[in-house]
A = this chain, B = another copy of it.
Amino acid sequence: MIELRQLHQLIAIAEFRSLRAAAEALDVQQSTLSRTVRAIEDELGAILLDRRHSGVELTEAGQAFLREAKSAIELLERAQRHARLAGRGKTGSLTIGIQTSLGTGFLKELLRRYPRRKLTTISA
């Protein structure tokens, strides 16, 4: 299955018209991107890049695919933004001060009933 990481890598490659440059920008090795492109091409059964010795160039299939893929990613990122906004206020961190004596009984029970909360203890 093509993953988002791979698509982002492909997008960078297309923007830089170069594996080398994209690799540097993404802070990975050329080899990583070479393998990624190869994997996507194999999965699609279409060649996406024209490998030149002066970099790479999108084939027609590559241009079409990337244009559509970008729209999809755009949509997904909007979805994430919306979800993050929806989550505001309903989640977040809560900082409280409490005497240690209280921290042993009631608080422990509270955290047991509401898992996923993390308790940071600072001893006096």
A residues touching B (Cβ–Cβ < 8 Å)? 1-5, 38, 43-48, 60-61, 64-65, 68-69, 71-73, 75-76, 78-80, 82-84, 86-88, 90-92, 116
Q: Which of B4, B45, B78 contacts A4 (CB 8 A)?
A: B4
Q: Which residue of B lies closest to A88 (CB)?
A: B45
Task: Please state the number of chain copies in the assembly.
Answer: 2
Q: Which of A43, A45, A69 has most chain B Cβ within 10 Å?
A: A45
Bound-state CA distance A1–B73 (Å) is 12
Bound-state CA distance A76–B77 (Å) is 13
Q: Which residue of B lies closest to A80 (CB)?
A: B44
Across the A-B interface, the 9 shortest Cβ-Cβ residue pairs:
A46-B87, A68-B79, A72-B75, A72-B76, A61-B86, A65-B83, A45-B87, A44-B83, A72-B72
Which chain B residues lie closer than 8 Å to A84 at the CB level?
A: 44-46
Bound-state CA distance A64–B85 (Å) is 11
Q: Take A68-B78, A82-B68 as given contacts and tell me if A87 and B4 are in contact as well, using a CB distance cutoff of 8 Å.
A: no
Which chain B residues lie closer than 8 Å to A71 at the CB level?
A: 75
Q: Which of B78, B79, B90 contacts A47 (CB 8 A)?
A: B90
Q: Which of B60, B80, B87 contacts A2 (CB 8 A)?
A: B80
